[in-house]
Amino acid sequence: MRDVKPLLLKSDFPQIRRGRLSTLQMNLGYLCNLSCTHCHVNAGPNRTELMTRETMKTALQFADKYQLEYLDLTGGSPEMNPEFRWLVQEARKQGLHVMDRCNPTILVEPGFEDTAEFLAEQRVEVIASLPCYMEDNVDAQRGKGVFTASIKALKKLNALGYGQANSHLTLNLVFNPQGMSLPAPQLQLEESYRHFLGEHFDLHFNQLFTITNMPIQRFGAVLLAKGQFDDYMNLLKQSYQAENLAQVMCKSLLSVDWQGYVYDCDFNQMLGMPLTGETTHLSQLLEQMPEAMSISVADHCYGCTAGQGSSCTGVLTN
């Protein structure tokens, strides 16, 4: 796979600094039961990188020391890490709000059938990837049969109370566009999702998050192979909105890889751009947290600031 990093580093993206830290995003490993074309992690069934319990303990200590509010679990499929349940239970005991960035098909895979019940029991917020509400589009991005399996899993979550009024079990869906385009307006697309999924499957959810595809890892390599990388970068740059800078997620978030090394965001992690430009382990930050840290930027940052903006919780401006 061709490395896109050298194409991104020479950048004129504005310099930004971190504000108050509220969220620790933990990549529990690159193991996943799917290999999606838009995946910026290059996750898949043959990946072996998995976070250990010791690293998780360090993360919980960090969250406690700096009084964080949110633990954002991602992967791969975070549920496939053998220590996933231990981590969730310990985090909930600390009073952390836990978010699981869930590929919903994992909830109906052999060996994981009771995962949905576990998530409900722990009151974990589920952020489920469903890159379109049309079967053909989902299967084109994620593999044949993924849409049907996803619907089955989401209905299972609904049956447990997720996405239902007054249940306090939050189910949010995630949309990724196909190919080299920006997402449609989030509120408009959310209404289309809600209407179609409700009418055809009696499915309910709380919010839809639209996320711009990042030109890195697998998606970046696809763009390069098709000769579309420069065109996509031009689209992102031409769509840049300066007002989005105030709300980019890296201002309140730190990203931790499966080995415990720290980055400004998940995208920087995948590009190997460490926090403050130097390799930093989470255990070092237990001793001292730099004040007002400068955030490492490159051309992929235009993906977060293009159009309506993009973050792990959807758009930045409506």
Condensed to tens digits (0 to 9), the pLDDT of residues 202-233 reads 999 999 999 998 888 778 888 898 999 999 99
pLDDT at 40 over 60: no
Residue 123 sits at φ, ψ, to 5 deg, of 55, 50
pLDDT score recorded for residue 137: 76
Interval 272-277 mean pLDDT: 86
Q: Is the pLDDT of residue 94 over 60?
A: yes
Q: What percent of the chain has pLDDT over 70?
A: 94
Q: Are 56 and 101 contacting, i.e. CB atoms less than 8 angstroms apart?
A: no
pLDDT confidence of 291, banded at 50, 70, 90?
A: low
Q: Which residue has the tokens 């509120």?
A: 187
- pLDDT at 43 (0 to 100): 64
pLDDT given at position 132? 83
Residue 317 · residue 241 · CB < 8 Å: yes
Write down the pLDDT at residue 278: 82
pLDDT tens-digit map of 226-263: 999 999 999 999 999 999 999 999 999 999 999 999 99
Q: What's the confidence (pLDDT) of residue 36?
A: 58
Q: In angstroms, rounded to a whole number, what is the distance separating the alpha carbons of residues 307 and 150?
A: 29
Q: Is 113 helix (H, G, I), strand (E, B) or coil?
A: coil
Domains and CATH numbers, the chain: 5-305 (3.20.20.70)
pLDDT score recorded for residue 1: 54
Higher pLDDT pick, 171 / 137: 171
Q: How far is CA 241 from the centre of its chain?
A: 22
3-state secondary structure of 36: coil
What's the pLDDT score for residue 277?
79
Q: How confident is the prediction for the chain on average, in pLDDT? A: 90
3-state secondary structure 167-185: CCCCEEEEECCCCCCCCCC
Give the pLDDT band (50/70/90) at residue 84.
Answer: very high
Q: What is the mean pLDDT of residues 74-101?
A: 96
Number of neighbouring beta carbons within 10 Å of residue 73? 24
What's the pLDDT score for residue 143? 66
More confident call, 176 vs 28: 28
**Alpha carbon 213 to chain centroid distance?**
11
What is the model's pLDDT at position 136?
Answer: 76
Residue 168 has pLDDT above 60, yes or no: yes
